[in-house]
Amino acid sequence: MTERLATKIADLTGPGITDRFGIGGTDLGATTTAPQGHLVSVFGDTFRRAGVGGPGWRSPVVLFADPASVPTGIRWTGAAGRRGTARQVVRYIHHGWRRNGWRMRRVTTVLPTDVITVGDDMYLHVMVCRELGNVRWTELHRSRDGGRTWRPTGTRWPADLHDGLFQMLTWERGSDGWVYALTTGFQREHGLLLHRVPEAELTDPGAWQTWGITDRRWGWGNPPTLVLPGRFGELSLRRVPSGDPGDGRDRWLLAAFDAGRYCMDVRVLDGPTADLHRAPLATVLRGCGWDREDHACGHVAQLYGGYVLPGSTVHDLHLVVSHWNTATGWPYRAMQFRTDVSGLP
């Protein structure tokens, strides 16, 4: 196992950075490139003040950015909402936040897992939750105006699909007309499953195929088989250029928060069906206590997330990473880290 510990480039949210959008505390930040060329980043539970709790609770919210700003730290250019304020882009009503803590109702929050652009459309996969780790169902929303407004597609999956391992999702387009997706549960206790769906049938649950072993052979349409055991959290699957002069081939990168090992790893794949047990792997961030943080050396307290930013290459990989001090409520923000995962053994 190789270490390529990442270095923080910038804080992406928080006081002095996203106040003008009505964002004090937020997390996650899965990002894609809109058909119009700007970046679209989707964040989770968001509050007006720095930290968790208080007024202005909403999720998910969307910020826009200049793609040219990725190498030195994302520069936000706007938000999905009115008069510059980042509004909640999925329609529902929060229940449960009170001064004396959480009081659960039917739906507490809706959390984004990943976003993708297919042609002129953008799709957002979300988990409808009663509380953290308790998913009621998952669903797809679509934007046809560059992420400014989102509408439900009507596509839903039950929370117990594939024994609950189709809750948290990451996806990427192949060069063959298919979208490939890795999924797990939202409890940070499970391994990964692999799926694919034709791009044109993304919103049809019946068109999704699972990857599994039957008669000792892997194949599509077989009952799903774990492609990697473990205790995984947030995932980010992306196809990126190698960054090597004269090498026009893309590589598939899987960034994953490993709750069992309390770290974030990146695997470099030849394709979506590559053997994840044997894929070259680098640990890029390590969890630590709040008194031992060193963002210049890849040590982050209560870390999670880890979303690959557009514009990344294998040589110059940029990740959106979150951390949340659950004891004090702050820090609760997204940050940008950079590393190099080329030349892995």
Structural domain containing residue 140: 2-339
- pLDDT of 102 reads 40
Low-confidence ranges of the chain (pLDDT < 70): 95-106
Q: What is the pLDDT of residues 15-40, one digit of tens each?
A: 999 999 999 999 999 999 999 999 99
Q: What is the pLDDT of residue 106?
A: 64
Handedness of CA 156, 118, 23, 316 (dihedral sign): positive
CATH number at residue 185: 2.115.10.20
Instruction: Find all residues with CB under 8 Å of 86, minimum gap 6, and list them.
Output: 18, 21, 22, 23, 43, 46, 58, 61, 62, 63, 79, 80
How many structural domains is the chain composed of?
A: 1
Is residue 234 domain-resident?
yes
Decide if 263 is inside a domain.
yes
Torsion region of 83: left, alpha or beta (phi above 0 gives left; psi -120 to 50 gives alpha): left
Residue 99 forms part of a structural domain: yes
Is residue 345 situated within a structural domain? no
By the 8 A CB rule, do 287 and 301 touch?
yes
The CB density around residue 184, as the number of other CB atoms within 10 Å, is 29
Listed residue (216, 185, 212, 215) closest to 196, CA to CA: 212
Q: Which residues pair with 255 in a beta bridge?
A: 236, 266
The reply to whether 344 falls in a domain is no
Three-state SS annotation for 31-60: EEECCCCCEEEEECCEECCCCCCCCCCECC
- Cα 5 to Cα 343: distance, rounded to the nearest angstrom: 15
Contact criterion met (CB below 8 Å) for 25 and 52: yes
Contact 17, 86 (CB under 8 A): no
